[in-house]
A and B are shown apart, each in its own frame.
Chain A
């Protein structure tokens, strides 16, 4: 499922020419050039913004050894190939392509430039000079599940989903397991809006869930509209992608935020010292690939302590988001006691755990 293509295709028609102009040219001679390709505008304060924060961190940490270039608003598809090719042709030695839909264009260009290293986010295809990386977003959902379990009064949680893909479904499950550990009576109601970014629809979904009795709204879509709706009704909410506090200071409990800074610095260093290899990195809290936005001051101290403990346990490996026994909706044990879900199980998750209402749309 491509993340942020919606509406970008149109811009792409006019964008092809402009792209050529927007590629900045690095000046210093011996410095290594590192390129970044974003699917959205860096002003989205969400997905692409977080990737650009990573680029800035690279500049800050290694500015004496590298220069960076970025191209934003690149549509997924043929235009992406041209952009990536141009970065490779203009002397960039390491190129990060940050959206799922850049997978095939990245591989194609990589074939033509064997001495350039490529890093593709959220994909699954690798080659000698293409590595992949992603974050274990579900770990964050375990922590917020515990917080929400302590904060809900109506025991109905409204969950605004984007698309029923494994990334989102595993998030719902991780959330629900932790939620019911704290509060066995709580249930999760999911509404899919079939979009990553449609503020109007996300707000409507949040309203519908609230009208059905939900007193906490959790989202796996990118606009702050659900936060605004929850704030409007005087209820709690949890943000996604970036800290959304300013859209609902009285409502925003916390948010799951992507953090690529450390990873980008490490990978640039690896190319500099020649230790770079094509690997698949799937990092979580431990690898600092995600973190939680500052907790709302209204969360009681014992709940904050609980959340911090769970996070620490995940980091130390003492706890797994899908630790057996995990039952599906029919009560069947899918992950037996003493085991936890394998990465493959998580990457292919298309079923709900006990406590989620409804069925995963197929």
Chain B
């Protein structure tokens, strides 16, 4: 049994890292949806962040600049979505889907010259003494720096949404844009900023993949993580802390099922591959099964178009 117990540390360590791209993207989308906008283009924004961050890091050798550009590329994609849906009043669902298709294609085009180029990953935290602690040392004190940034973003987003005036206004816009407009709040401007923030966070999530987790560029390398992030937001009932727990759960089961396979336990691998999705949906549905509470948390104007004169 001790061999299995010894695996808990590595599994925990891998779990936090696997959850990080989801965490970034889902936190960003939480803010977007809280402002009443549904952006299904997360996958496309992640890919743009991934390719731009990678390309800039390769060209300049500066990872911080790469991350900045990745966030900027995601935000630019968000802004594009904003122009189409908030200013030109295009349908949000259709535009979001188109944004993903566009992001897949454009990132592949930009990345053409960057396939097959290796890159050094970002530095890992290493605190002598703490990092070497058994079981939890590697998991808590030996991660990539972006993993900590992702976790740090959770309380920040939570505090912003629920403890600041700006957050209150953003939620008000999401609940009832006409009322917010009548009170004199700039609905479109607020939503535009939220969408750009969401894009920047998605871009960072994508950049974590291409610059750190598997430091390389490959077409479509996010492999559907953007869609999982979208689902996490809903199942976590738009609450940042639950988004984090959902991401960890998903990451944890993903890693655990790989270990189960490696041990040769006779469960079909296809079933195991399904497990992270199943477990995450199940647990999040269970903790949020109170329908009244979901209604309370779901932004009432989610996905609805807003025109100041209507």
A interface list, Cβ under 8 A from B: 6-7, 10-11, 13-14, 41, 43-45, 158, 164, 189-195, 197-205, 207-209, 211-212, 214, 223-225, 228, 232, 246-247, 357-359, 361-362
Contact = CB atoms under 8 A, between A and B. Distances in A.
B261 interface: yes
B255 A204 contact: yes
11 contacts: A41-B219, A192-B269, A192-B273, A200-B214, A203-B214, A204-B258, A208-B259, A211-B10, A214-B262, A223-B214, A246-B118
Contacts of A192: 261, 269, 273
Contacts of B104: 7, 10-11
Contact of B220 (A6, A45, A225): A6
A200 B268 contact: no
Nearest to A362: B268
A198 B219 CA distance: 10
Given A189-B263, A192-B273, A207-B10, 17 more contacts: A6-B223, A7-B104, A41-B108, A191-B258, A199-B218, A200-B209, A201-B254, A203-B213, A208-B259, A209-B262, A212-B259, A223-B214, A224-B118, A228-B216, A357-B262, A358-B266, A361-B270
In terms of DSSP, what is the predominant structure of the interface of chain B?
Answer: helix
B91 interface: no
Interface of B: 7, 10-11, 14, 18, 21, 101, 104-105, 108, 112-113, 115-116, 118, 121, 209, 213-216, 218-223, 225, 254-255, 258-259, 261-266, 268-270, 273
B213 A14 contact: no
Contacts of A214: 262
B214 A228 contact: yes
A242 B18 CA distance: 27
A198 B215 CA distance: 13
Among A194, A200, A205, A224, the one with the most B-chain Cβ atoms within 10 Å of its Cβ is A200
Contact of B273 (A158, A194, A246): A194
Given A190-B261, A223-B214, A43 B269 contact: no
Contacts of A224: 118, 216
Contact of A43 (B112, B216, B258, B263): B112
Contacts of B219: 7, 41, 44
Contact of B266 (A44, A199, A228, A359): A359
Contact of B223 (A198, A205, A358): A198
Given A204-B14, A204-B255, A223 B216 contact: yes
B47 to A, nearest CB: 10
Contacts of A223: 214, 216, 218
Contacts of A197: 218, 220
A14 B215 contact: no
